[in-house]
Amino acid sequence: MKKIHKFNLVCMAVVIMCGGSLRVSAQQLKAENIDEVVKAMTLEEKCHMVLGRGMHYNDDDKFPGTAGSTFFVDRLGIPETYCADSQQGLRMNAKRAWDHRDYYPTDFVASMTLASTWDREAAFKVGQGIGNEVREFGLDWILSPAMNLIRNPLCGRNHEYYSEDPYLSGTIGAGYVKGVQSEGTAACPKHFVANNQETNRNNNISQVSQRALREIYLKAFEIMVKESDPWTIMTSYNKLNGPYAVQNYELLTTIVRDEWGWKGMYVSDWNAGDDAVAAMLAGNDMLQPGQDKQYQAILEAAKSGKLPMEVLDANVKRILEYVVKTNNFKKAGHSCGKPCCVPMCSAENLKAHAQVVREVGADGIVLLKNSGILPLGSEKIKVKGEKFKVALFGCTSYDWISGGSGFGGTSVGHYTVSLIEGLRAAGYEVYKPLIATYTQHLAAEEKRLFPNGRPPFSLMPPARADEKQFTADELNAAIEGSDVAIISLGRKSGEAADRSENDFYLKEGEAQLIKAVSEAYHAKGKQVIVLLDICSPIDVASWQDQIDALVCTWQGGQESGVSVADVLSGKVNPSGKLPMTFQIKYGDAYADKNFPANVDDKTLGAMFMWGYDKDKAPKERQPQKDIDFTNYEEDIYVGYRYFDSFGKPVAYPFGFGLSYTTFAYDNLTCSVDGDIITVTVDVKNTGKRAGRNVVELFVAAPNSKKLNKPEKELRNYAKTRLLQPGEEETVTMKVSTEDLASFNEKASAWKTDAGTYTFMICSSANDVETKTTAKVKAWSKKVNNVMKPNVKLNLLKR
């Protein structure tokens, strides 16, 4: 577990020693005088500046329940600045001791929901809403977006991440960062990088080829950095090709600062790494939440010259460059602008943000299968003016999951609109006897699972109730009392633990429930819909033939119930597309060969300790595959790049998602002007309902098989406006020659081969709608030959 450091006391002492009364200085921090302020700082102040001030989990902290803050030096006008998690909203206690007010932030949508919108504007709006609340509540810095690649469906933090594709991840991440920073709040994309599993997250070494690192894992961050210029980046817990990411000069300085030109401030993940001086030397400017031993180590190294003063000064300078942009430095504060009043987000803004959650939550829902039953009952309700009755099965229908667990979830007491509430508000009648049955069932399960009550906060997702099974009589009564059955399935995960292979499949009780309800409803000529309230893909292939419609709702934050009802009712025409592949079985993806899918609880528990307290690990322990090191043998063939290039069937491909209308594509053009390729296509709504459509542009390189390149790769995408039936929009997308490059390890260069490339407009990685070709010029760019894996990897090739 995280330690809450007593570090604050030390900081206070230094402030008293060096501050106000003893060393009054005329020098006050301004954006223009950072170099002079660095010069005016004492060595001790510098050593404190590069460390956080502990976590703020006590009742009497200024912002209880938040991740931390930065060091302040009153005499130089350097204020304390405050940070908090997460990508789904401001994680902070809503109640404070001796304060009658509530501080409820908005529970926005999970990242996976956001990515499923394939809408950069939606990402901006969510980022802006969160950035606004951080500022209005008096803080400066949000520790998000989390944007590691979805390499495996079992990673415990997938719901915090965007996609298996670096372009989609990078562009959605960029939209979010721009939104956050448009409010004067610092964003902090994380966890940099190749932090794709939670098992032994503090010590595992990701062993990745230079090519996969450049083309896949770094690429997502590179796109985001270049498009949105985040003020800060969080380095990850894991080691990468040897050293800890947080202590890796080649990664942090050579690639990101020297090659990409990024000038912001790095902060470590909380207690990451094991050598504070190495982190400073690597260019990692700030270590959070800060430890006494780190302070001593940095101070001694600075005194002995092991840590050159110019390096420490550069770290401090980058921190001050962040500080001068913050709300607390600018005293920007909340919108009322009165310095004396308590920072609080206005009711008006919270209301506007709730609307964003509702809309983005609905736009991120992915319709996977539809017999025609959806939209639900609109004819009965609207045409005949009758009630449409739904029977809700599955514990999740009554215990909706709005987001993940751990520090990546908000879940700090804010409401979640339930499915029942959402459906009722949309005009549906919810079959009552099941509400009573499930209320009792859930209460009994709660007692069974938590005989001593639930723990107040745990990193691990709490155990969920087993499914209730029904007698034939109970089912017949439900069929009598409803027009349709809706079964909800839920999965919740969070940081510090991955899901197990079992969790990918239905539990016995879930499978029995689906079978029994489907058989009974079908026997009476009625249909069954399944909602997937999940944190990451699960098996659907083995059971979806039994049901009539399948809707992946993901986890949509506080307005979930209304967002789901908006889509089921047809108020919103679904336009979400999968940001990752739904594989048929666990093990189908090549990356599954190297992932800790079946680690027993005892080992997991022990690793938790090794992570934070390595000295207590048994000495005789040998490094174990997928726990101590993970070989990324699939190389660049992550997600659809594998299934598509090797002709493997999937349950649902990357980019898939149905609509209540249909779209046709026409007049595809592709023109090359120097290094820029412009693609245009007409998209027409050919169905009967208004809807938005995602236009996916994949590109195939010539001789891809011979050159060991993926069959095709996502190079751009666009989302149309709401098109009325018959209405058309011309969509324009640009790709540069550089965007088509692969990384050539031998030459240590990005290279685009000259030749005829195929530009495809797709409705998923498996569905090419129309295509054309264009001749592309050769392009190349040499980069540093760094980040070599220090083991020989047995890499997959086409």
The least distance separating ligand BGC from the CB of residue 147, rounded to whole angstroms, comes to 11
Closer Cβ to ligand BGC, 1 or 43, answer by number: 1
Closer Cβ to ligand BGC, 286 or 301, answer by number: 286
The two tokens of residue 162 are 């965007």
The two tokens of residue 65 are 């329940």
CA dist list (Å): 36 to 44, 174, 589: 17, 33, 55
- d(CA 732, CA 784) in angstroms, rounded, equals 34
Closer Cβ to ligand BGC, 87 or 488, answer by number: 87
∠ CA 402-232-717, nearest 5°, is: 60
The least distance separating ligand BGC from the CB of residue 495, rounded to whole angstroms, comes to 5
The least distance separating ligand BGC from the CB of residue 55, rounded to whole angstroms, comes to 7
Closer Cβ to ligand BGC, 163 or 271, answer by number: 271
Closer Cβ to ligand BGC, 107 or 269, answer by number: 269
Closer Cβ to ligand BGC, 181 or 527, answer by number: 181
The least distance separating ligand BGC from the CB of residue 85, rounded to whole angstroms, comes to 5
Closer Cβ to ligand BGC, 7 or 270, answer by number: 270
Helix 508-523, helix 472-480: angle, nearest 10? 50
- H or E stretch including 764? strand 755-764
CA dist list (Å): 372 to 479, 527, 542, 568: 19, 10, 21, 12
Residues that bind ligand BGC (CB under 6 A): 67, 85, 143, 190, 269-270, 407, 495
Closer Cβ to ligand BGC, 2 or 380, answer by number: 2
The least distance separating ligand BGC from the CB of residue 608, rounded to whole angstroms, comes to 12
The least distance separating ligand BGC from the CB of residue 80, rounded to whole angstroms, comes to 17
The least distance separating ligand BGC from the CB of residue 68, rounded to whole angstroms, comes to 7
The least distance separating ligand BGC from the CB of residue 66, rounded to whole angstroms, comes to 8
Task: Judge contact between 479 and 526, C-beta under 8 A.
Answer: yes
The least distance separating ligand BGC from the CB of residue 601, rounded to whole angstroms, comes to 20
The least distance separating ligand BGC from the CB of residue 266, rounded to whole angstroms, comes to 13
Closer Cβ to ligand BGC, 67 or 604, answer by number: 67
Closer Cβ to ligand BGC, 142 or 485, answer by number: 142
Q: Is the dihedral of CA 548, 553, 559, 563 positive or negative?
A: negative
The least distance separating ligand BGC from the CB of residue 406, rounded to whole angstroms, comes to 7
The least distance separating ligand BGC from the CB of residue 360, rounded to whole angstroms, comes to 22
Closer Cβ to ligand BGC, 140 or 269, answer by number: 269
CA dist list (Å): 338 to 108, 244, 334, 343, 643: 28, 45, 8, 9, 57
Residue 306: DSSP 8-state: S
Token pair 């062993």 is at which residue? Answer: 207
Closer Cβ to ligand BGC, 250 or 269, answer by number: 269
Closer Cβ to ligand BGC, 88 or 558, answer by number: 88
The least distance separating ligand BGC from the CB of residue 407, rounded to whole angstroms, comes to 4
The least distance separating ligand BGC from the CB of residue 270, rounded to whole angstroms, comes to 4
Closer Cβ to ligand BGC, 85 or 644, answer by number: 85
The least distance separating ligand BGC from the CB of residue 674, rounded to whole angstroms, comes to 41
- d(CA 784, CA 250) in angstroms, rounded, equals 9
Amino acid letter, 353: H
- d(CA 368, CA 361) in angstroms, rounded, equals 16
Task: Judge contact between 774 and 757, C-beta under 8 A.
Answer: yes
- d(CA 40, CA 405) in angstroms, rounded, equals 44
Q: In what order do the strands lie in the sheet with 713-719?
A: 713-719, 694-700, 755-764, 767-776
- d(CA 335, CA 181) in angstroms, rounded, equals 16
Residues 6+ apart with CB under 8 A from 296: none
- H or E stretch including 128? helix 120-136
Residue 160: DSSP 8-state: G
The two tokens of residue 629 are 């090191």
- d(CA 218, CA 787) in angstroms, rounded, equals 11
The least distance separating ligand BGC from the CB of residue 188, rounded to whole angstroms, comes to 8
CA dist list (Å): 784 to 166, 428, 743, 744: 21, 61, 12, 12
Of 774, 695, 158, 596, whose CA–CA distance to 406 is shortest?
Answer: 158
∠ CA 688-690-692, nearest 5°, is: 125
Task: Judge contact between 784 and 776, C-beta under 8 A.
Answer: no
Q: What are phi and psi of 714, to 5 degrees?
A: -70, 125
Task: Judge contact between 663 and 684, C-beta under 8 A.
Answer: yes
The two tokens of residue 74 are 């009153």
The two tokens of residue 492 are 């919740």
Closer Cβ to ligand BGC, 104 or 237, answer by number: 237
Q: In what order do the strands lie in the sheet with 484-490?
A: 366-370, 549-552, 527-533, 484-490, 388-393, 428-430
**DSSP for 580-601?**
S-B-SSTT-SGGGGGS--S--H
How many other CB atoms sit within 10 Å of the CB of residue 315?
A: 26
Closer Cβ to ligand BGC, 385 or 456, answer by number: 456
3-class DSSP state for residue 377?
coil
Closer Cβ to ligand BGC, 49 or 67, answer by number: 67
The least distance separating ligand BGC from the CB of residue 763, rounded to whole angstroms, comes to 34
